[in-house]
């Protein structure tokens, strides 16, 4: 069955490659979260960190898996780290997917650098990459295997690895001992469009 999946990625650098993942049509549009139109992204950024944080929280709501689309600079993005930590602490399954080999609009691939799942550690000191698998979209045939990877991430997390991770992204410290966020901004009225989803229509 389809899982409600949040896609985490570096928007400015990797939106085109992330769009190719979404355009694979492996997951129904209503089950995809985390994609945003360029105009809307600029609008929400102008509202500041609280608005971005609230949007992330809203997008993660009701999801059970987070797919981290990994490009050349993904591991350097504080908001990506925040999304991964929030996903883990709300018990989402997590899967990493290298997207640097996807050709961009100029028919160029990118550089493979660091995996953010290597750099976020659980309470026992082990990196998330030791329990969350990472695949390559091109080399591992993501178009035919994404659904399987997402289901695998969901099944791999059920009832396992209940310890929380502290958010060290520098944005805000979220995790409490009880598993409840210490702070949650008021929900934003912002409702982003999903430009790569045909059901949502074309961009303005």
What is the count of structural domains for the chain? 1
In a domain, 37, yes or no: yes
Nearest CA among 153, 163, 192 for reference residue 65? 153
Residue 64: alpha-carbon gap to chain centroid: 12
Render pLDDT for 67-99 as a digit per residue (tens, 0 to 9).
999 999 999 999 999 999 999 999 999 999 999
Q: Which residues contact 87 (CB under 8 A, 6 or more apart)?
A: 6, 8, 60, 63, 66, 94
Full domain range(s) for residue 151: 5-194
**Cβ(50)–Cβ(79) below 8 Å:** no
- What pLDDT is stored for residue 131 in this prediction? 95
- What pLDDT is stored for residue 16 in this prediction? 93
In a domain, 154, yes or no: yes
In a domain, 172, yes or no: yes
Render pLDDT for 133-180 as a digit per residue (tens, 0 to 9).
999 999 999 999 999 999 999 999 988 888 889 888 777 534 333 333
Question: Which residues make beta-bridge pairs with 33?
Answer: 6
In a domain, 199, yes or no: no
Q: Would you tell me how many other CB atoms lie within 10 Å of the CB of residue 32?
A: 22
In a domain, 204, yes or no: no
Q: Is a pLDDT exceeding 60 seen at residue 198?
A: no
Q: Is 96 helix (H, G, I), strand (E, B) or coil?
A: strand
In a domain, 80, yes or no: yes
* For the chain, percent of residues with pLDDT exceeding 90: 65
- What pLDDT is stored for residue 163 in this prediction? 87
In a domain, 201, yes or no: no
What is the token pair recorded at 158? Answer: 């059920």
Q: Where are the beta strands (DSSP E) in 110-201?
A: 134-136
In a domain, 92, yes or no: yes
The CATH number that applies at residue 118 is 3.40.50.450
């Amino acid at each position: 069955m389809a899982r409600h999946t949040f896609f985490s990625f570096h928007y400015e650098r990797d939106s085109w490659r992330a769009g190719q993942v979404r355009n694979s049509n492996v997951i129904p549009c209503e089950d995809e979260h985390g994609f945003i139109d360029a105009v809307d992204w600029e609008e929400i950024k102008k509202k500041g960190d609280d608005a971005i944080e609230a949007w992330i929280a809203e997008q993660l709501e009701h999801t059970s898996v987070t797919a981290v689309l990994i490009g050349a600079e993904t591991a350097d993005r504080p908001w990506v780290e925040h999304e991964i930590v929030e996903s883990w602490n709300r018990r989402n399954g997590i899967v990493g997917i290298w997207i640097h080999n996807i050709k961009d609009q100029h028919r160029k691939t990118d550089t493979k650098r660091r995996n953010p799942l290597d750099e976020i550690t659980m309470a026992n000191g082990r990196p998330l990459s030791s329990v969350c698998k990472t695949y390559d979209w091109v080399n591992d045939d993501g178009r035919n295997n994404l659904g399987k990877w997402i289901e695998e991430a969901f099944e791999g997390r059920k009832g396992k690895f209940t310890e929380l991770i502290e958010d060290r992204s520098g944005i805000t410290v979220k995790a409490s001992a009880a598993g409840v966020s210490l702070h949650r901004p008021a929900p934003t009225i912002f409702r982003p469009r999903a430009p790569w989803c045909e059901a949502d229509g074309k961009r303005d």
